[in-house]
Structure 1
Amino acid sequence: MNGPDPRWIRRYHRGPEAAVTLVCLAHAGGSANFFYPFSAALSRSVDVVAVQYPGRQDRHDEPQVDNLAALAAAVAEQVAVFGPRPVALFGHSMGALVGYETARLLEQAGHQPTHLFASGRRAPSTSRPEAVHRLSDNRLVAHVQELDGDAGVAEALNDPDVRAMALPALRTDYRAVETYPVTAGPPLHCPITVLTGRDDPVVSAAEAAAWQGHTLGSFECLTFPGRHFFVATHRDAVVSEIERRLVAVPTAPR
């Protein structure tokens, strides 16, 4: 592979002066364009790319991936061929788990990520049985809308045509998360910054703080106003915190 596959990796703005590439991974049912505003805000200092999962939008005709480890392996394969610029990972909700597993694979392969930002997701070590992926269509949509609050992320699900297109990927993503087996392994070496919403109904403060046990590097937990999709309702504050932690990243090859 000479470079990342454009089916997987989307770059909305070029940051030729950027010292680090930030790989963004979306929530269940989400897609790469969720991070377009992140890219626009960070492009002067950070090279932002977003992962497009199979089975949605322009990849709707490809099989969805209901195995989180397999999804992370595919992402790691793409990230490994980015080139010499240091790489950090940002994942929201399901994307935080994908980012964590991707970071583990990259470290095992000798491609040390500089940072993992885990947003809106409890630590892997705090997993608990859930079966959202088994809910009826209406109850699944209601669950997502309850998480959404006033963020507007799930607003499109009110359209019957959009709902019909989005539900298969949404259900598959929940299945991937809810069947994800946390395997014991060495903690990461890269720093982890956790971002959490103060009123997130599915992530407690203790569950967010438990990410500290997953790294030998530095750790911090940032709390923002808002619910599960605080990354949308308080995007400027989130982007500012990401940028502060990445602009000083050294430019040594991975």
Structure 2
Amino acid sequence: MGNVIDLGHGVRVAVTERKGGVSRPPFDSLNLGPGVGDARTAVLANRARAAEDLGFDVDHVVWMNQVHSTDVLVATEPGGVGTCDGVVTTRSDLVLASMAADCLPVLAADAVAGVLGAAHSGRLGTEGAIAATLVGAMVDQGARTDHIRVFLGPTICGSCYEVPPELQAQTAERTPEAASTTRWGTTGVDMLAAVTAQLRGAGVRDVTADGRCTLESPELFSHRRGAPTGRFASFIWRT
């Protein structure tokens, strides 16, 4: 389903993959996202399977109603935190989730202060620098930027994410690193480069990335490769 990565000081992250669930095509098979057309019973069963496989309680997960915003909320209990694309918590027993199928998951932790954060940075979120907003929200909860470690999940790469020139210019207006050239020689957006730059601009120095392109990796869901499709989840939690 996915590998667990140790970020140190008891913080772990994991990214789920397509196999291991009960969803039928085109959501086959470990779709964790509701609202894409899959059966609700299948999504709930998949979420329970993923949590068990990764070693945490599914009832401790915080889920966002993601809408490509730059809003960040504070989670004080598990379940649905509300409509947002970023969430932070200081509770040691909560698991934060960010779902995607080409957009960039952002998982962050200040293990010393006990603050976790997760965000969903799609094109609009990248344009609005939600990653930097997430860092600011974590600092508001007691984190220090020099203590924050960030793991960036899989996303469509700058060589594959083709957009019209006007959308490229709009996305790169605040973050020039967002502008890319695709493998076809057309205008594109590089969300991984842009978000990395935004995090460094916010004072975060410890940034690592999964590195896989969702469009090029068949083990991951990709909206551009085959919509409708499911959603994989990136989780962060403390042991």
Place the TM-score, normalised by the shorter chain, in its bin. Answer: 0.3 to 0.5
Task: Give the TM-score normalised by structure 2.
Answer: 0.37
The structure with the greater share of residues assigned to helix is: 1
The structure with the greater share of residues assigned to strand is: 2
